[in-house]
């Protein structure tokens, strides 16, 4: 079945490009370009990337690009940069080509951007205190297991990954927490803290890779 956009079914031919407005088409949903724009801004701010502004000459001036608002920029540039009168335009004839982005890829891009923006979150998420017994999981004879003498253990974080995950989880709507970021909920005792930290580290690495890519004109 053809996808629905703007309340109308698209024909098979139209699905190559999405109908945008006033008889014009674009290859992807508007929000895909939102994150290309946002990552380009972050790449321009970063000292680790050098944006090729010869490639992005039609996007605006590098002098004020990081201060631009996406919606205002989009209204001025979308037709010139991405628009087409036909619903199918070969990649080689697209001024700023971009492949059709799947929902899975888009979600990874979105979460990596949000994680990047939370990268400086202080280590302020405190894990729940746990109860353990002397000698538990130790094989040392001088630390015998004493079932009558439990001690309270207060976990200490040396990384802000759990703090980032907690804030990211809280930023999502209740519905999205279930469908999109349930695996990042540090309050869920069934989810390994190590797996959450690994997911955050992976998203941060992906955000760095995207910034490197957009610096030379590729997205994501």
pLDDT of residue 125: 85
pLDDT of residue 100: 77
Mean pLDDT of the chain: 82
Q: 140-148: long-range contacts (C-beta < 8 A, 24 or more apart)? A: none
Q: Using pLDDT thresholds of 50, 70 and 90, give the confidence band for residue 2.
A: very low
158 against 202, higher pLDDT: 202
Q: Using pLDDT thresholds of 50, 70 and 90, give the confidence band for residue 181.
A: very high
pLDDT 10s digits, 143-156: 555 566 655 555 56
pLDDT of residue 85: 79
Report the distance separating Cα 205 and Cα 199, nearest Å. Answer: 10
pLDDT of residue 105: 94
Report CA 42 to chain centroid distance, whole Å.
Answer: 13
**Domains of the chain, residue spans:** 4-98
Report the distance separating Cα 68 and Cα 48, nearest Å. Answer: 21
Burial of 91-130, coded b for 16+ CB within 10 Å and e otherwise, reads eeeeebebeebeeeebebbbbbbbbbbbeebeeebeeeee
pLDDT of residue 26: 83
pLDDT of residue 6: 41
What the block records as the tokens of 120 is 């400086």
Instruction: Give the pLDDT mean for 30-43.
Output: 96
56 against 96, higher pLDDT: 56
User: Taken in order 16, 17, 19, 22, is the CA torsion positive or negative?
Assistant: negative
């Amino acid at each position: 079945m053809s996808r629905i956009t703007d309340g109308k079914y698209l024909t098979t031919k139209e699905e190559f490009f999405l109908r945008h407005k006033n008889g014009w088409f674009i290859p992807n949903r508007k929000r895909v370009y939102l994150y290309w724009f946002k990552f380009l801004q972050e790449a321009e701010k970063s000292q680790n990337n050098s944006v090729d502004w010869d490639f992005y000459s039609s996007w605006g001036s590098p002098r004020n690009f990081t201060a631009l608002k996406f919606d205002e920029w989009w209204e001025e540039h979308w037709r010139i940069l991405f628009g087409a009168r036909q619903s199918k335009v070969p990649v080689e004839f697209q001024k700023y080509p971009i492949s059709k982005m799947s929902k899975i890829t888009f979600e990874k891009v979105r979460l990596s951007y949000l994680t990047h923006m939370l990268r400086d979150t202080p280590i302020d998420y405190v894990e729940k205190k746990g109860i353990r017994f002397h000698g538990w999981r130790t094989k040392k004879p001088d630390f015998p297991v004493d079932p009558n003498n439990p001690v309270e253990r207060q976990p200490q974080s040396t990384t802000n990954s759990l703090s980032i995950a907690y804030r990211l989880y809280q930023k999502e709507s209740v519905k999205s927490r279930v469908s999109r970021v349930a695996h990042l909920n540090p309050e869920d005792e069934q989810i390994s803290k190590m797996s959450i930290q690994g997911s955050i580290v992976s998203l941060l690495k992906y955000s760095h890779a995207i910034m490197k890519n957009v610096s030379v004109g590729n997205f994501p």
